[in-house]
């Protein structure tokens, strides 16, 4: 069994697409509309056939409440892995991202940073110790 898709709710799909592609550097994978419904996903350019991240409009009351509760509690809506959290921080910061947590070692060999995706979510970047 494999994970092929996960979802993050956003308050504006077009703004989210710009942020996730132009700031974070992901690649648009699928963009299909059917009336008011839009199926929009991005993937990592490092794994174009890997897991997709759906940027789902938070027009569902349950999805919106979930998104807002996570944000208010300071919980990330999604976590991404990198081999160099400080390098990603510098790259993404230079593209205009607002970080809520600078790169921080939270455990020996585990570094994280958090940023606001401008669409209602906190995103965490993780660097795990090599084993």
CATH number, domain of 23, equals 3.10.180.10
Per-residue burial over 5-39, b = 16 or more CB atoms within 10 Å of its CB, e = otherwise? eeebbbbebeebbebbeebbebeebeeeeeeeebe
- Distance CA(29)–CA(14), nearest Å, equals 14
> Is the pLDDT score of 131 beyond 60?
no
The pTM assigned to this predicted structure is 0.93
> Domain containing 98: what range?
5-127
Which tens digits make up the pLDDT trace of 12-51? Answer: 999 999 999 999 999 999 999 999 999 999 999 999 999 9
Task: Quickly list DSSP for 46-78.
Answer: TSTTS-EEEEEE--SHHHHHHHHHHHHTT--SE
> Is the pLDDT score of 76 beyond 60?
yes
Q: How many structural domains compose the chain? A: 1
């Amino acid at each position: 069994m494999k994970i092929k898709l996960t979802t993050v709710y956003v308050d504006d799909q077009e703004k989210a697409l710009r942020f996730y592609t132009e700031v974070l550097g992901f690649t648009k994978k699928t963009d299909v509309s059917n009336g008011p419904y839009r199926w929009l996903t991005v993937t990592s350019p490092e794994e174009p056939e890997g897991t997709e991240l759906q940027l789902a409009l938070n027009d569902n009351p349950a999805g919106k409440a979930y998104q807002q509760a996570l944000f208010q509690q300071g919980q990330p809506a999604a976590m991404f892995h990198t081999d160099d959290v400080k390098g990603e921080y510098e790259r993404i910061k230079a593209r205009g991202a607002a970080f809520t947590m600078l790169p921080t070692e939270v455990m020996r060999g585990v570094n994280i940073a958090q940023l606001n995706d401008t669409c209602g979510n906190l995103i965490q970047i993780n660097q795990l110790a090599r084993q």
